[in-house]
Structure 1
Amino acid sequence: MKKQLLLFLLITCCTAHAQKSFSDSIALIKRNYIHAILGEDEGKRVLLKQLATIPREQEVSDQNVIELQQLYPISSKEIKRLISTIGTDGSWKDINYSDTKRSGWEPKIHTERLLKLTKYYHQNKRKLQQSEISRLANAIHQAMDFWFSQELVCKNWWYNQIGIPRTLGPTFLLFEQEMSEQEKQSAIKVMMNSAFGMTGQNKVWLAGNVLIRALLQNDWKLAKEARDVISSEIILGQKEGIKADWSFHQHGPQQQFGNYGLSFLCNMSFYSKLFARTSLAFSKEQQKILSSLLLEGYQWIVWRGYWDVNGLNRQLFRNADIDKGFNLRFAAYSLMKSSEPEVAGKIQEMIDRNSISSKAPNPFIGNKHFCESDYTIHRTPRWMASVRMASERVIGTELVNEDNLKGYYMADGALYTYVRGDEYHNIFPFWDWRRIPGITTYESNAPIPNPNKTDSRNHSSCVGGVTYQQTGITAMQLKRNKLEANKAWVFTDDYVLCMGSNIHADSTATIMTSIDQRFSKGKVWSDGNKRFFHNNTGYIILQADTCITLTENKEGQWKDFMGMYRPEVLKNKLFSIYLKHRKDMPASYIYLTLPATTQQKVRNFDSNSIRIIRNDKEAQAVVIKDLCYVSVYHPTQILIEGQNPIAISEPGTYIIHTKKGNFVAHRPFTTGNSI
C-alpha cells in the first residue's frame, strides 16, 4: 500500500512539474511575443529611426507593409484622435464597414486601430493618469465588442482566415489581462477562423494564428503542434515554398520573392527569435536554411534598400520598393539574433549595405540565375540589373484581387537597371504597359489582356541562364500570343548586351522591343540615332530596324492597375526608348545598356570590342574578351575564329573560353543544374 501511495505521489509530482514547465513555457513564449509586438529591441532602433523618416502609406493592402507600419512610433495625439472619434457603438465613421473590395478591405482598418490602441495601452499604462487609462481601456472594450457583435465577413477568404486573426491575435495577447471572460471567449472564436492547412506561406500564416489561440488558451500541446506546422515549411524540394536555388514559389511554379516569400521570411525570422532558448527553438539545420534563403536568395534582389521591380510580383503598390526593403532589413535583424557569429556578420553587412541613404560602393557583386524561377540578377560595384522571364515550367505573372491589372507582359524579358536604386520608384501609374523595359510585344492601343481570361503562359522550355566568374548569359525563347522571338542578355562589368532574333508573328500588327522606360531626368543626348545618354545610363544601338526615343508628359493613376486605390490622376514626365521591327521578314536587334556611365564614355565606347558571331533562329553568340557567350535553341555549330567548329546538340546557355576552346560553364534549358 505504501508503495502504491509513493508511486501515486511521484506521478502526481511529476505531472504537476510537467504542467508547471509547460505553463512556464507558454508564459515565456507569450512574454516573448508581446516583447516582439511592442518592438522592444535596442538593436532595431537605428532601423526604426530610418523608418520614421518615410511617410506612412494611407491606403494599404500588402500584409508586409501593414506589419511594417505597425512598427512606427505611436503618438499620443494619434491615440487621442482615435478615442475622441470612436462612436458609442465602438465604430469609427470614416471606415466603410460595408466595403465589398477583395483587396484593401476597409473594415480591417478597425482591427489595425485596435492593435494600435492596445499597444499604446500596454506601453503607457503605468505612465498615464488613471483617467486617461480608463478612457483608453474603455475605447478598446468598445471597439473590441463592436467587432465581436458585427461578425463582419470579407468576400476574400484571406482576410477572414488569415489577415484579421493575424492582426487581432496580438491585440488579444496585449489586452488579455483586461478582457472579461466573455470577451476572451469571443476572441478565441475569432482565432478559430484559422485552422491548420494549405501550403507555403498561407500554411505558415494559418499555423501562426493557431499558435496565438494556443497562447490565449494556455494550451501547450496546441502551441507545440502549431510550432511543428510552422517549422515544417522550412524545407527544400516542395512544390511551393523555398526552392533549391533559394527563390520562393507560391500559387504554383511562380516566383514570389516580394509577396508570399517576403512574408515567409519575415514570419520565420520572427518565430526564430520567438522560440529561441525554449524547447520549441528551430533546429540548426532549419536556421541554416533560413539564413541561406536570406543570403543566397533575398540579398541579391535589393539594391541600396530598393526592391527590384522584377521581385515585386503582383504587388505593385505605392512605395513598395522601399517598404519591402525595410521589411527585409527588419527580418534580417531578427534572424541574425539566432544565427552563428559568422553568419550574423554577413547578415549585418547586408543590413548596413541596404540603407537607402548609403552611397558607398556595393561590395556584394556577381551574376546569379535563379534557374527554378527564370530570373537573373547581375550586380557590380556601381550598378545592378535584373531580367524576369517565364516558360512552360514557370508562371510569369498573375492577376489576383485586382492586383496587377496591367502586368500581363511583366515576365516577357523585363530588364531593369539600377544605379541609385530609385530609377523606377513609383513609376507604374505613368507607364505604357506594352513598353515595359526589355520586352518584345505588339504595338497596340487595345486594352492589356487579362491573364485569367487569356492564355498567359510562355509556350517554350528554352529559357535559362548560366554564370562564369562575375559575368553571365541569360536567354529566353518567347512563344506567346502567336508572337515568337529569341532574346538573350549578356552581363559584363560595364554593360548588358541585349540580342534578339527570329522575331515574327502570325499577325499584321507592328512588333516592338522596349529598351527602357523611366522618369525623365535632364536632357537626352544622342549621336546619329545610334548612341544615346540619359541621366546615368547609356544606350548603344548596334543593329535595329527603327529606334525611337520619346520624352512625354504622362497622366495616370494607381487605381488603373491596383484596384484597391482611390481614383486620383497624377502627372509626370517619362523618357522611353524602343525599337520598331519590320513586318515582311523575321526581325532582329542588338543593343547595349550601359548603367552608371557618362555621356563621354558612351560617345567613346569601342563597339569593335564586341564580336557578334550569330544572331539567328538557331543560336545567338558573341565574343567579349576571351569568352564566347552562346544561347542555342536548335542543334547547331558555333564557329569561333581560330578554333574548330564547336557542335552543340542540346539547347541551352553556354560560355566558351575562346583561347582554350572549352566550355567553362553551361546549363541546358531542360535542367536546373549548372555544369
Structure 2
Amino acid sequence: MPLPADPGRLSRRGLLRAAVAAAALGPVPLAAADGAAAAETADAYGALRLTWRDLILGTGYSPTAEPFASKLAALGATAAGLRSAMSPAAESLWPDLPYADPEPDTDAESYTYSGNLNNSFNRLRTLAEAYSQPGTGLTGNTALRGEILAGLDHLHDQAYHAGQARYGNWYSWQIGAPQALLDIDVLMYEHLGAARIADHCAAVDHFVPDSTVAVYGGTSTGANRVDLCRVLALRGAVGGTAAKLALARDALSPVFPYVTTGDGLYQDGSFVQHLYVPYAGSYGSVMLGGLSLLFALLKGTSWEVTDPGRQVVLDSVEKAYAPFLFNGLAMDLVSGRAISRGVQQSDPAAIRQDDHLRGHGIIACVALLGVSASPAEKSRWDRMVKGWIDRDYYRPVLAGPALGVAQLARLKAVDDTVPTGSAEPVGHRLFPAMDRAVHRRPAWAAAVSMASRRITYYENGNGENLRAWHSGSGMLYWWGGTFANGQYTDDFWPTVDPCRLPGTTASRKPLADGEGGTWGAARPDVRWVGGATDGTYAAVGQYLKGLSSTLLAKKSWFFLDDAVVCLGAGIHGRDGTGVESVVENRNLGASGTHAFTVDGTARSTALGWSATLTGARWAHLAGHAGYVFPGGATVRALREARTGAWSDINRSAVTDPVTRRYLTLWFDHGTDPTWADYAYVLMPGATVQQTSARAADTSWLTVLANANEQQGVRVPSLGLTAVNFWLAGTVGPLTASQPASVLVREDGATATVCVSAPLRTGDTVDVTWHRPVTAVPAKDPSVTVLSTGAGLTLRVTPGTLGAVHKATVSLG
C-alpha cells in the first residue's frame, strides 16, 4: 500500500494551536518532523484525536529538561532495540512473540499466543510513540514510519482482522490489542490512508462489537467495562463514528453507582473486581486511569460525560484510593495478583511492578482526573499529589521508571505550581465490603488483610500469584513514614516464606501452587470479619478458617496511637502438621544485619541463627520496630537468607534468582494444637528504650479476654475499652446480646460508643456498658437508647453491610 505524502507545512489550525499552547503553557514538546499533530482536520473527530494525542504524549514540558530528556532518550533506546529485533515472518512480527493459532494445543499455550499478539501490538505502539515524541532520536524518522505501517499491515493480515477467530485470553483481543492499535492509529493517523483505517475499524468492530457493553456483567464490569469504553470511544474518533462515541459515553454509566455485591465501588470506599478480590491498587487503578482519560477526552464535546453518577468516581479519590496510598506507594493488600509481577519473560527490558510504582500510577491518575473535577476538589488533590511526591524517598515519583512522559508532565506541573503538599492523614478506616482495615499514625501506617465468604484468601490466575495462600489469613502490613518503606518492594514476594507471612496464623500443611482455585474462588465459609472504629482507634477481628486446612482461629487487632495489640485464641488444627502465628517476618534486604535485642540482650546477627526465646517480655529489631509480649511468652526467632525467583510465583516472570535476608519471629503452637492462643504488641518505629519501657509498664494494657468466645483489651491512658464478641457475653464492663465488635472511648465527661455486627445478619444487637451515663446527646439513626443511669444500654439495628454505628454519651 503506498504511503501518503508528508505534509509540506503546518496547517493554519496547527499554527494557531501551537501559538495558544505556547502562550498558555510555556515550553511544549517539539512537533514530530512531519508535523503529525498539526495535520489533523478541524472537524470534531480530528479535535478528539488531537486531544487524545496530547493525553498520551503530554504537553507543557521541555524535552531538553529533566526528567523528560532522559525519559525520551530511554524511549528511543527501547524503540531502537525493538526496531532492530522486529522480523516479520509467518505468524510472528518479533521472533520471540509467535501468535499462531494454537487450536490443537493446550489452553495454557493458547493464552500465551494471545498474550504474544497483545505484546506485539504494544511493542509497535512503543515504536509509534518514539516516532511521535521529540528527543527520542527517532522523531519523525521516515524509515521507522514505514516499518510501523508495515507492522500494522502484518498484524492485520495475519492475526487481528475481521473474521479472525479469537483464542486464548479474551482480554488480549478486546482490550489489550485494540487499545494499542487505536493509540497507534491516532499517532500515525495522517499516514494510514482510508483503506487501513477502514480495516482497523472493521477489526475492532469484529472483536469489540457493541454487544460487549450491552449488559453489565461477566467481563464487562468495573475496570474492564471502562477499558472497553475506551476502545469504543477511540474507535469512534479514529473512524469518525458518532454512534460509537455516544455508546462509549453511555456505557460508562453502570460503572458509577455504588454496589453492594460483586464488582465496583462500595459506599464504604471498597473497590472489588473479579467478584471477590480487593483491587484498588490494580484494577481500580486501571478504572480510575481509564475514566480520567475518557472524562478529559470528551470534556467540552457533544459526548461529554454528564451523568451525575460520575461524582462517585470523583469522590473515590479520597474514599477509595488515597487511604491505600502511603508516601507514594500503593498497599499490596489491595493489588490482587499484581503483587507477583516481576519482569515479564516476554519483555525482559520492561520495568518490574512494585508497590511504589503502582502508587505512582495512581497518583498520576489523580493528577489527570483533576482536569474534570471542581476547583475545590482539584485544589485538594493537587496538594495530596504534591505531598506524595515530596515524601516518596524510597522511589522518587518524578524519577519513576514506570511513568510515561505524559504522566510525568502532569505530575511535574503540579510539583512546580503547588507550594505545599498535604500531610498523610491520621486516623483509622475500615473497609468491611472487602475485609480490609488501614490505620495511620503520624510516623507510620499499618493495614490488615482478611478473608470471608465474601472476600478471597488471595487471587491467582493466568499462572500469577501462585503462593500467596495465606495473605488473607490476617496478614499485618506496616510501613514507616521515613523508614522501612522498601519492606514489600524489595523482592519480598518471591523470597519470603509463604507460610510465614507477618501477622498470619497458618498451618504448615503443604499446599499446591494455586491451591483453592483461580480468580478468587478460595474463600472460607465464615462471616465474622470486621470491626469497630471511632475514626482514630479500632477493634478489628477475623474468624479464620485455613485454606484447604482444618485450622481454626480467632484473631483480633486493636489499633492504638503508637501500637497494635494483637491477640489470637481458639487456635485449633488437625492437619497432622505444625501451626504457627507469625509476629514478624521482616525483609532486611540483600545484606542487612540489623541488631536484634531480647529483654536487653543483643542476639546474634549471623545468618542461620535461631533460638527459642523462653519467657521473653520484649524484643527489638533495629531500624524497624519493638515487640512486647504481655506477661512473657515463648517465641521462636530465626535469621536466614532466602533465595527465590519471580517465576516461582508467576509463570510469566523472569527466572533470575534473588536473595534477601529475613528476621522472623513466631509462636510455635505445635502439631495439631487444641485451643492455643497468643498475645503481642507491635510498636512500629519504637526505640529499644521505648520498647523496654512499655514492657515494664504493666498498667498500660489490660487484656480483658483472649478466648474463643471473646477477645478484648483496656488501655486506661487512652480511655479505651474494646471487645470483639465472637459470641454473646460479658467482658469487663461490656455486655453484648449478639456477636459484635464494640469500642468505647472516654474523653473527659463524654464518651463515644461504637458498635458493628460483622455477621451481617441484620439482627439487632443490644450493648450494655456498665458505667453511669446521664444522657445520649448524639447518636446515629440506627441506634436506640434503651436505658441510661447506672448503666447504658443501646440497641443497634445494624443492617447487613458491616457498618459502624455510633453514639456520644455524657458520663455520670
Could you state the TM-score of these two structures normalised by the residue count of structure 2?
0.72
CA distance in 1, matches of 2:467, 2:222: 26
Q: Does 1:259 align with 2:282?
A: yes
- Judge conservation of contact 2:249–2:305 (CA < 8 Å) in 1: no
- Judge conservation of contact 1:619–1:630 (CA < 8 Å) in 2: yes
Give the superposition deviation at 1:567. 1.9
Residue type of the partner of 1:108?
N
Q: Does 1:226 align with 2:248?
A: yes
Give the superposition deviation at 1:165. 0.8
Equivalent residue, structure 1, for 2:629: 541
Q: Which residue of 163, 168, 184 maps to 1:171? A: 184
Q: Which residue of 260, 267, 272 maps to 2:295? A: 272
Equivalent residue, structure 2, for 1:34: 53
Cα distance change, pair 372–88 in 1 and its aligned pair in 2 (3 A): closer
Equivalent residue, structure 2, for 1:14: none
CA distance in 1, matches of 2:155, 2:127: 14
Correspondence 1:68-87 to 2 at 5 A: 75-87=75-87
CA distance in 1, matches of 2:201, 2:55: 21
Equivalent residue, structure 2, for 1:493: 561
Deviations 1:606-651 (A, max 9, x none): 24300111111111110012110110111101223xxxxx320121
Equivalent residue of 2:296, what SS? Answer: helix
Residue type of the partner of 1:200?
G
- Judge conservation of contact 2:436–2:450 (CA < 8 Å) in 1: yes
- Judge conservation of contact 1:656–1:665 (CA < 8 Å) in 2: yes
Q: Does 1:479 align with 2:545?
A: yes
Cα distance change, pair 102–305 in 1 and its aligned pair in 2 (3 A): farther
Equivalent residue of 1:179, what SS? Answer: helix
- Judge conservation of contact 2:281–2:359 (CA < 8 Å) in 1: no
Equivalent residue of 1:608, what SS? Answer: coil
Q: Does 1:93 align with 2:95?
A: yes
CA distance in 1, matches of 2:750, 2:369: 45
Deviations 1:318-359 (A, max 9, x none): 332122111111100011122112211221122122227546
Residue type of the partner of 1:164?
A
Q: Which residue of 378, 401, 422 maps to 2:486? A: 422
Give the superposition deviation at 1:445. 4.9
| Mean CA deviation greater in 215-224 or 312-321 | 312-321
Residue type of the partner of 1:37?
I
Q: Does 1:636 align with 2:646?
A: no
Residue type of the partner of 1:523?
A
Equivalent residue, structure 2, for 1:15: none
Equivalent residue, structure 1, for 2:705: 614
CA distance in 2, matches of 1:292, 1:246: 9
- Judge conservation of contact 1:543–1:588 (CA < 8 Å) in 2: no
- Judge conservation of contact 1:306–1:422 (CA < 8 Å) in 2: no
Equivalent residue of 1:411, what SS? Answer: coil
CA distance in 1, matches of 2:77, 2:627: 51
Residue type of the partner of 1:433?
P
CA distance in 2, matches of 1:202, 1:306: 23
Q: Which residue of 385, 392, 403 maps to 1:351? A: 385
Equivalent residue of 1:457, what SS? Answer: coil
Residue type of the partner of 2:294?
Y
Equivalent residue, structure 2, for 1:194: 208
Q: Does 1:592 align with 2:592?
A: no
| Mean CA deviation greater in 381-390 or 660-669 | 660-669
Correspondence 1:49-448 to 2 at 5 A: 75-87=75-87, 91-97=93-99, 100=109, 102=111, 105-123=115-133, 133-151=141-159, 155-192=168-205, 193-195=207-209, 196-197=212-213, 198-237=220-259, 239-283=262-306, 285-316=308-339, 317-318=341-342, 319-355=353-389, 357-358=391-392, 362-419=423-480, 420=483, 421-425=485-489, 426-445=491-510, 447=512
CA distance in 2, matches of 1:101, 1:529: 55
CA distance in 2, matches of 1:624, 1:125: 61
| Mean CA deviation greater in 286-295 or 116-125 | 116-125
Count the aligned residue pairs: 628
Deviations 1:194-216 (A, max 9, x none): 23332222122112112221112
| Mean CA deviation greater in 522-531 or 202-211 | 522-531
CA distance in 1, matches of 2:501, 2:264: 28
Residue type of the partner of 2:51?
N
Give the superposition deviation at 1:265. 0.8
Give the superposition deviation at 1:569. 1.8
Equivalent residue of 1:180, what SS? Answer: helix
| Mean CA deviation greater in 346-355 or 384-393 | 346-355
Residue type of the partner of 2:620?
F
| Mean CA deviation greater in 292-301 or 192-201 | 192-201
> Higher relative CO (CA 8 A, sep ≥ 6), structure 1 or 2?
1
Instruction: Let me know the Cα RMSD of the aligned residues.
Output: 3.0
CA distance in 2, matches of 1:79, 1:271: 27
Equivalent residue, structure 2, for 1:16: none
Could you state the TM-score of these two structures normalised by the residue count of structure 1?
0.86
Cα distance change, pair 160–647 in 1 and its aligned pair in 2 (3 A): same
Equivalent residue of 1:209, what SS? Answer: helix
Deviations 1:41-61 (A, max 9, x none): 55x999x966998xxxxxxxx
Give the superposition deviation at 1:545. 5.9
Give the superposition deviation at 1:154. 5.2
Residue type of the partner of 2:118?
K
| Mean CA deviation greater in 529-538 or 169-178 | 529-538
Equivalent residue of 1:258, what SS? Answer: coil
Deviations 1:258-286 (A, max 9, x none): 22211111111111211222233333734
Cα distance change, pair 125–355 in 1 and its aligned pair in 2 (3 A): closer
Deviations 1:514-548 (A, max 9, x none): 11212123121211633111122111122676311
- Judge conservation of contact 1:362–1:380 (CA < 8 Å) in 2: no
Give the superposition deviation at 1:287. 4.3
Give the superposition deviation at 1:462. 0.7
Deviations 1:498-518 (A, max 9, x none): 011111123332211111212
Equivalent residue of 1:367, what SS? Answer: strand
Equivalent residue of 2:458, what SS? Answer: coil
Equivalent residue of 1:542, what SS? Answer: strand
Give the superposition deviation at 1:660. 7.5
Cα distance change, pair 49–264 in 1 and its aligned pair in 2 (3 A): farther
Equivalent residue of 1:310, what SS? Answer: helix
CA distance in 2, matches of 1:242, 1:151: 36
Equivalent residue of 1:432, what SS? Answer: coil
- Judge conservation of contact 1:287–1:339 (CA < 8 Å) in 2: no
Give the superposition deviation at 1:461. 0.7
Equivalent residue of 1:393, what SS? Answer: coil
Equivalent residue, structure 2, for 1:555: 643
- Judge conservation of contact 1:361–1:381 (CA < 8 Å) in 2: no
